């Protein structure tokens, strides 16, 4: 790991293909989430197929398309014949419900971590405050529950203060007090580990980042020199207030650019899966002094970040932290990441291996299904958030500048699941 702080060699590790495969296998599928929401909102968490066909137009289906769609995911949805009404019903499979419950439990155990995560995020913002709506949009990536406003913000008044407004979208979360003990970046911890291993020899990595380019990336002599200069350039910490500095000089602009790299690096380090969509990062542009053209900026630092354009026909961008992944696996997995991965694997199971014909006739509800109890609608968005293309939310005036023309929209597309279907048909499992 230590050598990656220095000038990159001619041949580098192959994290790119693994990250492409990882993101391809976990393509967001909003329609499966929305159908699941319809099912769980019904009595006994099951819905008649005729009613499903009637309501499916709300999520972009034409008549009879919903039935064909749920048959593509037999490990997520199951069809059975009602014993009394003698018509076909649809419900979530036992395996899907168990995985949703596991994710809910893992999410509940993350409260302590999310409090620290939210505090650190606000500490990186101007004025020590963030819009509640912007945090809500990124809640899934940060490991926050839907009710985080009450479970985290209002429950810990010693840390947070909620500034009310007439409109919910204009509420702000303010930090009561800046805590210097939390003002340490993840990259600084990585450097500290190298210091302990190498001692005084590691002095040259004081301002360096871990670099990992795509395989076959040719590095010229001049690029090596430029990289060495950039790695040696001092910069202000994302947790440091820079309003007292003169930022007009070229040297200050270079430091601010490197500070933006450190800010995005820290933001990704605070997420559950060390990845987040570019569209959601854009919501924090003004608050965290990030560049307006985020996509172009991130592509200039391909050795640190990986930007995937798969999803929503190339309009949805997902940013990965390269150093956090190895061969498509998170280097330091957590319980919530593992639970979401298992739920994703259920969706990716091949429909060819399922005995769908047996589910279409006289299926009896087992005792185990009844013992599972009710899965509330509140859990659904959390469980299926990783399969959504984005959040349907209006953006303020300050967001319009952040969402520049080089990135897509954070709103779901009616046909966004097309790429996902291709991945399922290829029968690839997550590595």
Distance between CA atoms of 101 and 104, rounded to whole angstroms?
5
pLDDT at 63: 75
pLDDT at 405: 38
Say yes or no to pLDDT of 333 above 60.
yes
Instruction: Give the helix/strand (H/E) hosting 111.
Output: helix 111-123
Distance between CA atoms of 290 and 294, rounded to whole angstroms?
8
Q: Answer yes or no: are the C-beta atoms of 79 and 49 closer than 8 Å.
A: yes
Q: Answer yes or no: are the C-beta atoms of 261 and 209 closer than 8 Å.
A: yes
Say yes or no to pLDDT of 179 above 70.
yes
Q: Is 392 exposed, middle or buried (0-12, 13-18, 19+ CB in 10 A)?
A: exposed
Tens-place pLDDT, residues 314-330: 677 899 999 999 888 89
The answer for residues whose C-beta is within 8 angstroms of residue 270's C-beta and 6 or more apart is 117, 120, 121, 142
From residue 357, how far is each of 11, 51, 52, 71, 78 by CA, in Å? Answer: 51, 21, 20, 10, 11
Q: Bridge-partner residues for 48, per DSSP?
A: 89
Q: Bridge-partner residues for 396, per DSSP?
A: none
Confidence band of 372 (pLDDT split at 50, 70, 90): very low
More confident residue, 71 or 311: 71
pLDDT at 240: 93
2: tokens are 């230590």
Tens-place pLDDT, residues 227-280: 899 999 999 999 999 888 888 899 999 999 999 999 999 999 999 999 999 999
Q: Answer yes or no: are the C-beta atoms of 183 and 146 closer than 8 Å.
A: no
From residue 67, how far is each of 72, 189, 406, 422, 428 by CA, in Å? Answer: 9, 51, 37, 18, 24
From residue 135, how far is each of 12, 118, 197, 231, 279 by CA, in Å? Answer: 36, 9, 38, 31, 13
Q: Answer yes or no: are the C-beta atoms of 209 and 268 closer than 8 Å.
A: no
18: tokens are 């693994």
Residue of 215, 266, 77, 253 lying closest to 69 (CA atoms): 77
Model pTM above 0.85: no
Distance between CA atoms of 108 and 152, rounded to whole angstroms?
11
pLDDT at 30: 59
pLDDT at 304: 93
pLDDT at 373: 42
Tens-place pLDDT, residues 88-139: 999 999 988 898 889 889 999 989 999 999 999 999 999 999 999 999 999 9
pLDDT at 73: 87
3-state SS of the chain: helix, strand, coil percent to 5?
50, 10, 40
Say yes or no to pLDDT of 369 above 50.
no
Say yes or no to pLDDT of 293 above 80.
yes
192: tokens are 């500290």
pLDDT at 375: 40
**DSSP structure class, residue 275:** E
pLDDT at 345: 82
% of the chain beyond a pLDDT of 70: 72
């Amino acid at each position: 790991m230590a050598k990656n702080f220095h000038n990159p060699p001619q041949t580098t590790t192959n994290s790119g293909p693994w990250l492409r495969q990882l993101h391809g296998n976990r393509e967001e599928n909003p329609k499966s989430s929305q159908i699941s929401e319809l099912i769980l909102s019904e009595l006994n968490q099951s819905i008649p197929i005729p009613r499903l066909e009637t309501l499916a137009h709300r999520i972009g289906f034409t008549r009879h398309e919903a039935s064909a769609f749920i048959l593509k995911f037999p490990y997520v949805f199951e069809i059975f014949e009602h014993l009394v009404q003698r018509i076909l019903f649809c419900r979530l499979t036992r395996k899907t419900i168990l995985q949703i419950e596991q994710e809910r439990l893992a999410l509940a155990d993350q409260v302590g971590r999310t409090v620290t995560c939210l505090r650190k995020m606000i500490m990186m913002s101007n004025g020590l405050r963030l819009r509640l709506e912007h945090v809500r949009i990124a809640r899934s990536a940060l490991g926050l529950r839907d009710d985080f406003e009450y479970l985290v913000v209002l429950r810990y008044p010693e840390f947070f203060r909620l500034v009310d407004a007439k409109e919910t979208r204009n509420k702000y979360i303010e930090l009561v007090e800046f805590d210097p003990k939390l003002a340490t970046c993840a990259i600084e911890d990585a450097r500290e580990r190298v210091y302990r291993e190498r001692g005084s020899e590691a002095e040259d990595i004081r301002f360096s980042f871990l670099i990992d380019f795509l395989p076959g990336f040719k590095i010229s002599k001049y690029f090596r020199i430029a990289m060495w200069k950039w790695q040696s350039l001092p910069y202000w910490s994302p947790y440091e207030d820079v309003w007292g500095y003169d930022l007009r000089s070229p040297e200050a602009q270079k430091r601010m650019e490197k500070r933006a790299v450190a800010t995005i690096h820290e933001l990704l380090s605070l997420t559950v899966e060390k990845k987040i969509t570019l569209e959601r990062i854009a919501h924090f542009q003004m608050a965290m002094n990030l560049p307006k053209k985020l996509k172009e900026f991130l592509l200039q630092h391909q050795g640190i970040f990986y930007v995937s354009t798969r999803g929503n026909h190339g309009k949805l961008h997902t940013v990965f932290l390269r150093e956090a992944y190895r061969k498509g696996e998170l280097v330091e997995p957590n319980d919530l990441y593992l639970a979401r991965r298992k739920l994703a694997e259920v969706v990716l199971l091949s429909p060819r291996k399922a005995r769908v014909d047996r589910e279409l006739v006289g299926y009896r509800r087992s005792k185990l299904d009844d013992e599972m109890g009710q899965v509330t609608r509140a859990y659904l968005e959390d469980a299926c958030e990783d399969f959504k293309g984005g959040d349907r939310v209006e953006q303020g005036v300050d967001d319009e500048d952040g969402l520049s023309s080089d990135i897509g929209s954070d709103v779901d597309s009616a046909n966004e699941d097309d790429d996902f279907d291709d991945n399922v048909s290829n029968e690839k499992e997550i590595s």
